[in-house]
């Protein structure tokens, strides 16, 4: 992995280029960017063929160990790594500990290892087993073992343990990686812990940056996926800002969280480069569809209505729509007029409403296609507005569009 900062924006955030040499050759990426969210090694609800119908799919596939770690022996016997095993050999494979959309059972980590959760229940990973799993999967990037089971309620003693354990795990993993022939070309992503303690975050950032890691994954603000809006908390932004000060500029900073486009902009301005695409999956699971307008000024009718403060057409105005609502029973337009995705080009809101109300699996296939397409489009737009020095305008536009909806409905 090689990361280069191209520009630091006056409004906050940075534009950069990230390159990775893999079995598919050298892959070049621009930041800010998101990874492809997966479940069990594949994009949720989509076959490999259906995934190809989506434009601007991220080059990096993020695979959490909870749902796949128990299959590491099968992948080892297969002998070609997780990318080939999951039909994603053209992607950069990034293995992380936890599913960004799932709550994590608390109190299961200790100095001996970390618990991950899948369909078969809990699997305890000590550093030796963890590296055995990684050698079987042969990822391009992998997160170091970490104790991120912290949030705002944790006291100083618990945060001290989280940082100490994570650094101890990292030392063990660095040593084993240096001895591994299989993982010698894989990039190691160090985890930054410390909850809401500025002191512990500073220590974690400094100590992790002093070790041979290729990037940083910042976690430990919430115990897995929760309903907490971190950006409503000034303390979170203060702690994150202080953490960034102690990380080197030449390595990417990542957060694996469920964030709307507006929240992504706020995190980007604080210094995050790489994000998860878990947010569109959470929308899909609830029957919601992204309808945000990323143009400046907004050109879609729903966005115009929001910006003008209109109360008309409330069924389709806002940042997303709930296609379960009976108002879509006779709505024979696409989800978002002008959207070029396969779903909007071929199906109406009425049909999607019918599929949801009859519990047809096709509903989630079509919604995943639309929501992924719109979310991936947002990151291209984010980079473009950054280059044009219009990030503040985009943030204000999205804030107005999203203003009428409660984010905790999605989260």
- Provide the annotated binding site for Zn(2+): 339, 341, 344, 370
d(CA 267, CA 261) in angstroms, rounded, equals 10
**Maximum alpha-carbon separation in the chain:** 64
Alpha-helical regions (H) of 329-390: 342-346, 349-357, 361-387
Do residues 171 and 208 lie in contact, with contact meaning Cβ atoms separated by under 8 Å? no
DSSP labels, 86-141: TT-TTSEEEEESS-TTSB--TT--BTTBEEEEETTEEEEE-HHHHHHHHHHH--SE
Q: Do 290 and 374 contact (CB within 8 A), yes or no?
A: yes
* Token digits of residue 17: 């280029």
Question: Residues annotated as binding site?
Answer: 339, 341, 344, 370
Answer whether 341's CB lies under 8 Å from 366's CB: no
Residue 357: helix, strand or coil by DSSP? helix
């Amino acid at each position: 992995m090689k990361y280069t900062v191209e520009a630091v924006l006056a409004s906050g955030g940075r534009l950069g280029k990230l390159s990775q040499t893999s079995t598919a050759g050298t892959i070049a990426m621009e930041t800010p960017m998101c990874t492809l969210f997966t479940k069990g090694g594949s994009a949720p609800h989509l076959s490999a063929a259906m995934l190809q119908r989506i434009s601007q799919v991220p080059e990096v596939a993020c695979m959490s160990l909870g749902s796949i770690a128990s299959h590491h022996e099968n992948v080892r016997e297969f002998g070609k790594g997780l990318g080939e095993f999951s039909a994603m050999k053209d992607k950069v494979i990034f293995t992380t500990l936890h599913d960004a959309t799932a709550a994590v059972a608390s109190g299961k980590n200790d100095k001996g290892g970390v618990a991950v959760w899948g369909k078969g229940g809990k699997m305890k990973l000590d550093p030796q087993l963890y590296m055995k799993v990684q050698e079987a999967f042969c990822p391009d990037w992998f997160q170091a073992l970490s104790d991120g089971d912290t949030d705002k309620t944790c006291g100083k003693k618990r945060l001290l343990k989280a940082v100490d354990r994570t650094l101890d795990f990292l030392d063990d993993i660095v040593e084993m990686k240096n001895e591994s022939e299989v993982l010698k070309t894989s990039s190691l992503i160090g985890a930054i812990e410390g909850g809401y303690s500025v002191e512990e975050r500073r220590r974690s950032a400094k100590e992790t940056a002093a070790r041979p890691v290729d990037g940083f994954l910042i976690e430990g603000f919430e115990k897995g996926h929760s309903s907490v809006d971190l950006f409503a908390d000034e303390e979170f932004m203060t702690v994150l800002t202080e953490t960034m000060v102690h990380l080197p500029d030449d390595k990417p900073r990542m957060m694996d969280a469920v964030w709307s486009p507006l929240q992504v902009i706020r995190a980007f301005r604080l210094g995050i480069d790489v994000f998860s695409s878990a947010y569109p999956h959470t929308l899909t699971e609830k029957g919601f569809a992204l309808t945000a307008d990323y143009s400046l000024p907004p050109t879609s009718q729903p966005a115009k209505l929001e910006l003008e403060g209109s109360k008309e057409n409330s069924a389709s105005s806002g940042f997303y729509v709930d296609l379960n609502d009976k108002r879509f029973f006779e709505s024979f337009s696409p989800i978002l007029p002008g959207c070029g995705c396969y779903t909007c080009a071929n199906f109406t809101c009425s049909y999607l409403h019918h599929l949801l109300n009859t519990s047809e699996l096709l509903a989630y296939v079509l919604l995943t296609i639309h929501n992924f397409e719109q979310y991936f489009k947002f990151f291209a737009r984010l980079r473009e507005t950054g280059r044009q020095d219009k990030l503040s305008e985009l943030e204000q536009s999205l804030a107005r569009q999203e203003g009428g909806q409660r984010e905790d409905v999605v989260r």
